[in-house]
């Protein structure tokens, strides 16, 4: 089979790495890919949101299966466009992807289904939003309605911060039109977990739970990023909790989407806060987590092409997942300054030695090849991911490889996985 992976981040490198191991895969294309994906298959210079360009390419090359990594093309309708052209594609339709594309849509659905989530109010008028915030005396989270690359939720400790966040999103439009409406929601405390499942619109197949590290600094301090590291399994999510999340959150959502005539297939990812009162949903995403996909896919023993094909063909009930008992930890190496502005084009050293270490994979994110050298080309640059007998061992092995790699202005958190060790 010919397989096309859409995207160019760490998640897409992990997908390409795993798909390329399939006995069914003859050829892997990655559009646009990065310096790492060119080692797993062939990079194609078409951007992930150029839907017409991607469709033309897939038709010309007779691609048998397309796997979409990022949310943007999904919310733009890449799946609808490919299906209309008779192409097989893994991911939700434009309407189904609203579950991530609109916070208001997903909050309304959760409220209707009685799925535990933070109490909230939505606003399209900044004056009304301010008046509401002024009437509150507790901590709140202010969220842009639309997509904002993981940065559109601002956690506010004081009313002053909340008023400023409302302004930043609705008036200054820091996230563009994504901030035309906002959700103001109650602050939830607890530990976060990423619960990711594959679904064909009927069957829900949960993947191993993972935990992300969203904040830029150690100790979960500082502004949120796309994610600075992750590990799987997540000991905080017990077997009983996994069942509860599947039956009380994931399955009802998939059932409701089908009943509404907008069946949801692809990846359904629930960002959860594990509170004193049980798991509550912070948000839904319509794609694999990045960096959660990296440790999860390192632990998955199944042929990924078989799993994704079964989802596309509506026969996911035939699949049973098989996991490596070992733990996997992914440490994201980033450019100094991220999630704010940063420099690009720094030569990366130490990769040749790093890739030789067994049971550790260096996934690429923001990298590019220039004149035979690999240089930085984004905020999150690499995701070093290692397996170990337990989380502690995986942390040790992963950081030993992280320390082999360097560039001018490299930044990474030194405490990825520490949370799991404290348990
Ligand atoms: P979201 O984009 O909705 O997932 O929010 C991004 C991040 O903001 C989450 O991963 C949490 O760390 C934080 N967050 C969002 N909503 C809440 C909430 N209601 N209470 C506490 N933290 C939150
Ligand atoms: N790592 C968080 C996300 O993919 O949304």
What would the CATH number be for the domain defined by 2-91? 3.40.50.20
Could you say which ligand is closest to the alpha carbon of residue 292?
2
CATH topology of domain 327-422: 3.90.600
Ligand 2 center from residue 128 Cα (angstroms): 31
* Ligand 1 atom at shortest distance from the alpha carbon of 271: 4
Q: What is the largest CA-CA distance in the chain?
A: 60
- For residues 390 and 388, what is the distance between their CA atoms, to the nearest angstrom? 5
State the DSSP H helix or E strand holding residue 353, giving kind and residue range, or none if neither.
helix 351-354
Give the confidence band of 391 by pLDDT, cuts at 50, 70, 90: very high
Give the start-to-end residue ranges of the domains of the chain: 2-91, 125-180, 191-318, 327-422
Could you say which ligand is closest to the alpha carbon of residue 178?
1
Mean pLDDT rounded to a whole number for the chain:
94
- For residues 387 and 368, what is the distance between their CA atoms, to the nearest angstrom? 26
* Ligand 1 atom at shortest distance from the alpha carbon of 188: 20
What would the CATH number be for the domain defined by 125-180? 3.30.1490.20
Ligand 1 center from residue 337 Cα (angstroms): 22
Q: Indicate whether residue 100 lines ligand 2 (CB < 6 A).
A: no
Give the contacts of 19 (CB within 8 A, at least 6 positions apart): 3, 5, 25, 28, 40, 67, 304, 305
Flag whether pLDDT at 88 surpasses 70: yes
Most ligand 2 atoms within 8 A of CB, residue of 74, 152, 194, 230 to mutate:
194
Flag whether pLDDT at 138 surpasses 80: no
Q: Is 77 exposed, middle or buried (0-12, 13-18, 19+ CB in 10 A)?
A: middle
Q: Is 291 in contact with 383 (CB distance < 8 Å)?
A: yes
Q: Indicate whether residue 295 lines ligand 2 (CB < 6 A).
A: no
Task: Give 326-380 pLDDT, tens digit per residue.
Answer: 999 999 999 999 999 999 999 999 999 999 999 999 999 999 999 999 999 999 9
What's the mean pLDDT in 75-99? 98
Q: Does domain 191-318 have CATH number 2.40.50.140?
A: no
What pLDDT is attached to residue 166?
84
Kindly write down the DSSP assignment for every residue of 398-409, as one continuous string. HHHHHTT-B-TT
Where does 24-150 show beta strands of DSSP type E? 27-32, 42-43, 65-68, 89-90, 120-123, 140-144
> Which is higher by pLDDT, 140 or 405?
405
**Which residues are paired to 192 by β-bridges?**
273
Q: Strand pairing of 327-335 and 229-232?
A: antiparallel
Q: Same topology for domains 2-91 and 125-180, yes or no?
A: no
């Amino acid at each position: 089979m010919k397989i096309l992976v859409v995207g160019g981040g760490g998640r897409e490198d992990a997908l390409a790495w795993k798909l390329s191991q399939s006995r069914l895969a003859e050829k892997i294309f990655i559009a646009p890919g990065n310096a790492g994906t060119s080692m797993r298959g062939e990079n194609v210079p078409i951007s992930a949101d150029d839907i017409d360009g991607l469709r033309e390419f897939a038709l010309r090359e007779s691609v048998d299966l397309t796997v979409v990594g990022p949310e943007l093309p999904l919310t733009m309708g890449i799946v609808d466009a490919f299906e209309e052209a008779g192409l097989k594609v893994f991911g939700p339709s434009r309407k189904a992807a609203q579950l991530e594309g609109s916070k208001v849509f997903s909050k309304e659905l959760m409220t209707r289904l009685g799925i535990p989530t933070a109490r909230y109010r939505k606003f399209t008028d900044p004056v009304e939003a301010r008046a509401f915030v002024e009437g509150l005396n507790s901590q709140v989270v202010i969220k842009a309605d639309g997509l904002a690359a993981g940065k559109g939720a601002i956690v506010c400790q004081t009313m002053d911060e909340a008023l400023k966040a409302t302004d930043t999103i609705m008036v200054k439009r820091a996230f563009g039109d994504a901030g035309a409406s906002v959700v103001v929601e109650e602050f939830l405390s607890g530990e976060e977990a990423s619960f990711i499942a594959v679904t064909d619109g009927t069957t829900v197949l949960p993947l191993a739970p993972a935990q992300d590290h969203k904040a830029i600094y150690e100790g979960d301090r500082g502004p949120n990023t796309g994610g600075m590291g992750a590990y799987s399994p997540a000991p905080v999510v017990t077997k009983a909790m996994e069942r509860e999340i599947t039956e009380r959150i994931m399955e009802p959502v998939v059932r409701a989407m089908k009943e509404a005539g907008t069946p949801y297939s692809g990846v359904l990812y629930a960002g959860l806060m594990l509170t004193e009162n049980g798991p509550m949903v912070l948000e839904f995403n319509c794609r694999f987590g990045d960096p959660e996909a990296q440790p999860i896919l390192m632990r998955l023993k199944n042929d990924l092409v078989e799993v994704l094909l079964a989802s596309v063909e509506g026969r996911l009930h035939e699949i049973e997942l098989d996991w490596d008992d070992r733990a996997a930890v992914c440490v994201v190496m980033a450019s100094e300054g991220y999630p704010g502005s940063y420099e690009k084009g720094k030569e990366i050293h130490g990769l040749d030695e790093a890739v030789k270490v067994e049971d550790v994979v260096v996934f690429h994110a923001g990298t590019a090849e220039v004149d035979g050298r690999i240089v930085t080309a984004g905020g999150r640059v690499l995701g070093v991911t290692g397996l170990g007998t337990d989380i502690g061992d995986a942390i040790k092995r992963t950081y030993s490889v992280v320390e082999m790699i360097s560039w001018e202005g490299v930044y990474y958190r030194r405490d990825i996985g520490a949370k799991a060790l404290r348990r």
